[in-house]
Copies of this chain bind each other. A is one copy, B any other.
Amino acid sequence: MLTKNQIKLITSLAQKKQRSKHQLFTVEGVKAVEEFLKSSYILEHLYATTDNFEVNPERFSLITAAELKKISGLTTAQEVLAVFKIPNPKSVSTERLIVALDAVRDPGNLGTIIRLCDWFGVEHIVCSDTTVDCFNPKVVQATMGSLTRVHVHYLDLPAFLENTKVPKFGAFMDGANVYDIKLPKNGILIMGNEGSGISPEIEELISERLSIPSYSVHQSTESLNVATATAILLSEFRRRG
């Protein structure tokens, strides 16, 4: 049985302001919820239409499919919705390669980039405050559980870059061919906004401009999507690391 207040709280967590206020976020779907339960994230409450989940009974509510539909943000609700606490910020380690995001706005792109970082062993992502929130439900959904293994930090990106003395790489249309240049084991790979790329303020702080060469026979001003460009660049860093 769900109370009106519970429904109100859970659905309000779709908004960043409410997530910040309550320090809570939602995860949906069996696979994703199980990944978060196995992780160091702290469960606030789990709502499910089955009792297949091993959690403290005080933190579990068996609900009907109709009730789940009321709190789900998905087009088709999927058996379980869990509310977790937003973890305390960790410190950023720059001993290994990290990824920095300058105003990446699309939740699907951030989710894909978190998943890529998980795959390629990048444990820290630092984001400008203008980057979409990693606890946005669409981001959580797109990460497929990778968010439990990758730390995402929101901070003053220009100040962070200025104070961090490691090589800083940025992806540009006119950079050096990434296949040809030497890549270190540590450093910061900076990826920019979907429409406008890396902002001038951040561009000034970049030591190495990288580019993924095009093999098209056509003249085109089109660039690669930020998530696919990140995929190719992380692959290059790891292949030669």
Contacts and interface: CB of A to CB of B under 8 A. Distances in A.
Contact of A220 (B108, B118, B217, B222): B118
A118 B225 CA distance: 12
A4 interface: no
Contact of A144 (B116, B120, B212, B222): B222
A216 B118 CA distance: 6
A235 B238 contact: no
A239 interface: yes
A155 interface: no
A235 B218 CA distance: 18
Contacts of A120: 214-216
A26 interface: no
Given A220-B118, A222-B145, A212 B228 contact: no
A179 B239 contact: yes
Nearest to A111: B225
A149 interface: yes
Interface of A: 108, 112, 115-116, 118-121, 144-146, 149, 179, 212-218, 220, 222, 224-225, 227-229, 231-232, 235-236, 238-239, 241
The 8 closest A-B pairs by CB, nearest first: A121-B215, A228-B231, A231-B231, A232-B235, A179-B239, A215-B238, A120-B215, A121-B216
Given A112-B228, A145-B222, 16 more contacts: A112-B225, A115-B222, A115-B228, A118-B218, A118-B220, A119-B212, A120-B214, A121-B214, A121-B215, A179-B239, A213-B238, A215-B238, A224-B231, A227-B228, A229-B231, A232-B232
18 contacts: A108-B108, A112-B228, A115-B225, A116-B224, A118-B218, A119-B216, A119-B222, A120-B216, A121-B215, A121-B216, A145-B222, A212-B235, A213-B238, A215-B238, A227-B227, A228-B228, A231-B231, A231-B232
